[in-house]
Chains A and B, each alone.
Chain A
Amino acid sequence: MRGITKTFSQQTIANDSVDLEVGSGEIHCLLGENGAGKSTLMNILYGLYTPDSGTIHIDGKPVSFPSPSHAIAHGISMVHQHFMLIPVFTVLENIILGKEPVKQPLLDRRTAKKEIEELSQRFGLDVDLSALVQDISVAMQQRVEILKMLYRKARIMIFDEPTAVLTPQEVSDLYETMNTLKESGNTIIFITHKLKEVMDISDKVTILRHGKTVATVNTKDTTPTELTRMMVGRDVLFSDQSPVSVEGPPVLDVAHVTAKDSLGRTAVNNVSFSLHEGEILGIAGVDGNGQNELVEALTGLRSVEEGSIATHGVELAHRPTKEFFAAGIAHVPADRLKRGIISDFNLCENLLLGHQYQRRFNKRCLLDNAAITAWAKEILGQFNVRYACTTMKAGNLSGGNQQKLVVAREIQRNPTILIAAQPTRGLDIGATQFMRTSLVELKSQGKAILLVSLDLQELMSMSDRILVLFEGAIQGEFRKIDGYDETAIGFLMAGGNHD
Chain B
Amino acid sequence: MTDRSLDKKRPTLDSHQGGRRSRLGAIMGSTATSSVIVILAFLLGFFILGITGFNPIQAFSAMFRGALGSKRGIAETLLSMTPLILSGLGFALAYHCKLFNIGLEGQIAVGAIAASWLGYSIEGLPCVVHVTICLVGACLAGAVWGFFPGFLKARYNIHEVISVIMLNHIAFKVAAYMVSVGGPMKDPTDLMPASPYILTTAKLPRIWAGTRFNVSIFIALAMAFVVWVFLYKSRPGYMMRAVGSNPDAAQTVGISATSFTILAMVLSSALGGLAGGIEILGIHHRLLAQFSPGYGFDAIAVALLGQLNPIAVVASSFLYGVLRSGAVLMQVTTGVSKDMVSVLTATIIFFTSMKEPFARWMKHLFSAIKGHPMIGRSDSHVA
A365 to B252, Cβ gap below 8 A?
no
Size band of the B side of the interface?
35 or more
Chain B residues contacting A321 (CB-CB under 8 Å) are: 251-254
B249 to A322, Cβ gap below 8 A?
no
Q: Is B333 an interface residue (CB 8 A)?
A: no
Q: Is A362 an interface residue (CB 8 A)?
A: yes
Residue of A234, A345, A431 most packed against chain B (CB within 10 A): A345
Binds A, one of B84-92, B104-112, B374-382: B374-382
B239 to A384, Cβ gap below 8 A?
no
Q: Is B132 an interface residue (CB 8 A)?
A: no
A391 to B256, Cβ gap below 8 A?
no
B15 to A353, Cβ gap below 8 A?
no
B252 to A366, Cβ gap below 8 A?
no
Chain B residues contacting A390 (CB-CB under 8 Å) are: 15-16, 19
In A66-120, which residues have CB < 8 Å from any B CB?
none
Nearest chain-B residue to A365 (Cβ)? Answer: B234
Binds A, one of B57-65, B121-129, B240-248, B286-294: B240-248
B238 to A391, Cβ gap below 8 A?
no
Chain A residues contacting B256 (CB-CB under 8 Å) are: 320, 322
B22 to A391, Cβ gap below 8 A?
yes
CA distance A139 to B254 in the complex (A): 34
Pick the contact of A386 from B4, B18, B229 — CB < 8 Å? B4
Chain A residues contacting B249 (CB-CB under 8 Å) are: 338-342, 353
Pick the contact of A342 from B4, B242, B379 — CB < 8 Å? B242
Pick the contact of B235 from A299, A341, A357 — CB < 8 Å? A357
Nearest chain-B residue to A333 (Cβ)? Answer: B252
Q: A346-377, CB under 8 A of B: which get 1 and which 0?
A: 00010011101100001001110100000001
Q: Is A447 an interface residue (CB 8 A)?
A: no
Q: Is B383 an interface residue (CB 8 A)?
A: yes
CA distance A331 to B2 in the complex (A): 27
Q: A414-435, CB under 8 A of B: which get 1 and which 0?
A: 0000000000000000110000
A345 to B242, Cβ gap below 8 A?
yes
CA distance A341 to B239 in the complex (A): 13
A339 to B252, Cβ gap below 8 A?
yes
Chain A residues contacting B19 (CB-CB under 8 Å) are: 389-392
B254 to A389, Cβ gap below 8 A?
no
Instruction: Kindly provide the distance from the CB of B154 to the nearest chain A CB, expressed in whole angstroms.
Output: 14
In the complex, besides A320-B254, A352-B238, A389-B16, 6 extra interface pairs with C-beta distance below 8 angstroms are A9-B380, A341-B249, A356-B238, A389-B14, A389-B18, A391-B22
Pick 28 A–B contacts, CB within 8 A, sort by A: A13-B380, A299-B252, A320-B254, A320-B256, A321-B252, A321-B254, A322-B255, A325-B254, A338-B249, A339-B248, A342-B249, A343-B246, A345-B241, A349-B238, A353-B242, A354-B253, A356-B239, A365-B234, A366-B233, A367-B234, A369-B233, A386-B1, A387-B15, A389-B16, A389-B18, A392-B19, A392-B22, A430-B1
Report which A residues bind B (CB closer than 8 A): 7-11, 13, 52-53, 234, 299-301, 320-322, 324-325, 331, 333, 338-345, 349, 352-354, 356-357, 362, 365-367, 369, 377, 381, 384, 386-392, 430-431
Report which B residues bind A (CB closer than 8 A): 1-2, 4-5, 8, 12, 14-16, 18-19, 22-23, 229, 233-235, 238-239, 241-242, 245-246, 248-256, 378-380, 382-383
